[in-house]
């Protein structure tokens, strides 16, 4: 039996950050991880998918090199080498996490943690152990939802199989048009794969502003991706392909055959086999219920990241990690997370990024709005880059000037969105944004112009 001040279950972007912060604050800390340091994000999610998408971006640029006065010969790609590069990047970063934990004197236990009671964990693994701690943080993440009828079929992929395929499909069906589904649809389409997306909802990228969602669909369709919205699919897999009947309003609207199917219909928190029934921790719809400090109904037991519910984002998990640890330590004047200040990003081509309220939600909450828009085609840097498809949209409260939301589509918007994230955290109004000097020539100038447009002062459009 070993005693610690804090034990964290899971070493993903929530767990390892919590461990490091707790160590910085003088706590004796342990982490229990049953698979790989860095969790799904680093090993099978955020990082390796971005590596693959970067390969697709390079391929896209090469295929359009003539537009920049550059002539190239025939272009070929090797998907296996793209995958190999992404795996190497993940391995490098996982090794980096191991070094960070060692540097911060965090004890790492390999195995599965099971609650014996609110302060005691049994570790199942090569070296069984019992850990005791006054405070335990659950950071076990989430797993992909799968269609039970076709689970484990080699032609039906989750995100994990989609990023390590054994073959390059010529045709692909993606079920679900959230960030994960759209990123894979974009990646494979750039490789020349025939891609079809089926979505149960009436629009793609359900959490995005309707205007941005519509623009995204239009651009993806220009690239050749086909969409069936408000639709469902019935799959019949065989050894070499998958047949899919697509239905809408109870009627068959298409019957297609593809080489593979990616199922991207959401995730469910990893709450099973933790022994939570031996504690007062409560769950609902596959997630652990927590208060504003990430503490569960069991005092001293916290839950962070995907297992604690939406939004399922690595940066949200890391922020919750620090909040939970600082609450444990008793730091004063902590600020609960405002979920309206959490940016979301989709790393497709084009990129999509947003923060705060959509136009629809802002109106539903009773706000009178001032809306600003600025198109990429009117920005000098975007024109020079050859990236003229895109839009920056800003939403302000007409009475107070509060920045309620910002929604973007186009090149590098996943980097630009942080400017608005800082603004929202500082509770900025249109006045501060208007008075901010943006460098020229940059894409960021569009953020300024969009703000000006909301108040009838736009200069360059």
List active site positions: 440
Q: Which of 419, 437, 438 is nearest to 428 (CA)?
A: 419
CB atoms within 10 A of CB 119: 18
Instruction: Please tell me the total number of residues recorded for the chain in this structure.
Output: 461
Q: How far is CA 95 from the centre of its chain?
A: 22
Using omega within 30 degrees of 0 as the cis cutoff, is the peptide bond preceding 139 cis?
A: no
Residue labelled with tokens 């969409």? 227
CA distance 327 to 323: 6
At 279 the three-state DSSP class reads: coil
Rg (CA), the chain: 23
Burial (CB < 10 A; 0-12, 13-18, 19+), residue 103, is exposed
DSSP one-letter string for 56-72: HHHHHHHHTGGGGT---
At 384 the three-state DSSP class reads: helix
Residue labelled with tokens 């186009």? 410
Burial (CB < 10 A; 0-12, 13-18, 19+), residue 49, is buried
CA distance 295 to 310: 16
CA distance 392 to 63: 27
Q: What is the DSSP letter of 38?
A: T
Backbone angles phi, psi at 275, to 5 degrees: 75, 25
At 111 the three-state DSSP class reads: coil
Residue pair 182/190 in contact by the 8 Å Cβ criterion: no
Q: Which of 451, 457, 461, 446 is nearest to 371 (CA)?
A: 451
In DSSP terms, 229 is beta-bridged to: 199
């Amino acid at each position: 039996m070993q005693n610690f001040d804090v034990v964290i279950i899971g070493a993903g972007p929530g767990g390892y950050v919590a461990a490091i912060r707790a160590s910085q604050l003088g706590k004796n800390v342990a982490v229990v991880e049953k698979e790989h340091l860095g969790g799904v994000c680093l090993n099978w999610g955020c990082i390796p998918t971005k590596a693959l998408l970067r390969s697709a971006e390079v391929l896209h640029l090469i295929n359009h090199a003539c537009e920049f006065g550059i002539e190239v010969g025939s272009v070929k790609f090797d998907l296996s080498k793209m995958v190999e590069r992404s795996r190497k990047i993940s391995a490098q970063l996982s090794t980096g996490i191991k070094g960070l934990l060692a540097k911060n004197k965090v004890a790492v236990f390999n195995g599965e943690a099971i609650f014996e009671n609110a302060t005691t964990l049994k570790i199942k693994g090569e070296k069984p152990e019992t850990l005791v701690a006054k405070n335990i943080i659950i950071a076990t993440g989430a797993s992909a939802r799968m269609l039970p009828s076709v689970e484990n079929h080699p032609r039906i992929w989750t995100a994990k199989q989609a990023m390590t395929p054994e073959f390059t499909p010529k045709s692909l069906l993606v079920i679900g048009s959230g960030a994960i589904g759209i990123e894979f649809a974009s990646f494979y389409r750039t490789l020349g794969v025939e891609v079809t997306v089926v979505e149960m909802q009436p629009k793609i990228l359900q959490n995005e502003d309707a205007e941005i969602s519509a623009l995204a669909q239009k651009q993806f369709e220009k690239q050749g991706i086909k969409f069936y919205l408000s639709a469902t699919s019935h799959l019949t897999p065989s050894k070499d392909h998958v047949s899919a009947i697509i239905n809408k309003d109870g009627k068959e609207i298409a019957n297609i055959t593809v080489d593979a199917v990616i199922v991207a219909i959401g995730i469910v928190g990893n709450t099973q086999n933790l022994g939570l029934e031996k504690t007062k921790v409560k769950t609902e719809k596959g997630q652990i219920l927590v208060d504003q400090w990430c503490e569960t109904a069991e005092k001293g037991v916290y839950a962070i990241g995907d297992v604690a519910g939406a939004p399922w984002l690595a940066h949200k998990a890391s922020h919750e990690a620090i909040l939970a640890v600082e609450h444990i330590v008793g730091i004063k004047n902590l600020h609960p997370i405002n979920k309206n200040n959490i940016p979301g990003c989709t790393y497709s081509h084009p990129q999509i990024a947003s923060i705060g309220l959509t136009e629809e939600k802002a109106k539903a909450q009773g706000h009178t709005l001032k809306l600003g828009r600025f198109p990429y085609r009117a920005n000098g840097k975007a024109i020079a880059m050859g990236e003229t498809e895109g839009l920056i949209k800003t939403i302000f409260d007409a009475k107070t000037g509060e920045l309620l939301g910002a929604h973007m589509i186009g090149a590098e918007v996943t980097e630009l969105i942080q400017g608005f994230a800082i603004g929202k955290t500082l509770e900025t109004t249109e006045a501060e944004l208007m008075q901010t000097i943006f460098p020229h020539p940059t894409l960021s100038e569009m953020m300024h112009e969009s703000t000006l447009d909301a108040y009838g002062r736009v200069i360059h459009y």
